Amino acid sequence: MRNNEQGFSGARRQNDFRGQGQVERKLVREVNDQNYVEEAEKVILEMKQQRRDGKNNPEITTSKLRNLLSMTADIYNIVIHQNSDTLPEEIKARIEYLRVRFYYEAGREEGVKQLVEKAGLVEMLKNIKGSRKKYISFNRYMEALVAFHRFHGGKDI
C-alpha cells in the first residue's frame, strides 16, 4: 500500500489503528479532475444496491444532500476566485470547520453518515491541505454525488 499523501484514482483501504491491536480498515477515496464523475456514480449505485439487498443503508434525501453541497459551495465561491495554488489560512480554517459540520450532520442522520463514510468525504477534506485544485475537485465531486443521487431515483422530502 502506498502513502496516503500520494494522489491516485479510485479507492483504497487505509489502516485506522484503534486501541490495543485493533485495526479497522476504512475506505479512502481520492478524486481528481479525471475520475470524480465515475467515483460519485459508484458511491450512489453502491448505496442503492445495498438498500435493494436489504442491508442497513438508509435513504438520504436529495434535500439533505443539497444542504451538504451548499456548505461546500460557500467555500467554493471564494476558492474559485483565488489566484494562488495554496489557499489562505482563513479558507483552510473554513474547510476544517466544514469537516466538523459533516460529522455533525452524519451524527444526526444515519443516511448522511452512510454517505459521508462510503464517499470518503471527511478523509477528502483532510487531504485538501490547502490545495486550491483539490478543493475544486472535492466540490465537483459533491455536485456529482447530488446529480447521480437525483438521477438514480433519490428521494426528496
Lowest mean pLDDT among 52-66, 77-91, 114-128: 52-66
d(C-alpha 29, C-alpha 111), whole Å: 19
pTM (2 d.p.): 0.78
Residue 145: Cβ within 10 Å count: 25
Q: What is the DSSP letter of 89?
A: H
Instruction: Name the pLDDT band for 8 (thresholds 50, 70, 90).
Output: very low
Closest CA to 41 of 157, 143, 156: 143
d(C-alpha 64, C-alpha 146), whole Å: 10
Residue 25: Cβ within 10 Å count: 10
Residue 61: Cβ within 10 Å count: 16
Q: What is the pLDDT of residues 96-116, one digit of tens each?
A: 999 999 999 999 999 999 999
Instruction: Name the pLDDT band for 55 (thresholds 50, 70, 90).
Output: confident
Given a cut of 60, whether residue 45 has pLDDT beyond it is yes
d(C-alpha 140, C-alpha 123), whole Å: 16
Please indicate whether residue 150 or residue 25 has the higher confidence score (pLDDT): 150
Angle at CA of residue 70, ends 62 and 106, nearest 5°: 65
Helix (H, G, I), strand (E, B) or coil at 115: helix
The set of cell numbers assigned to 135 is 478543493
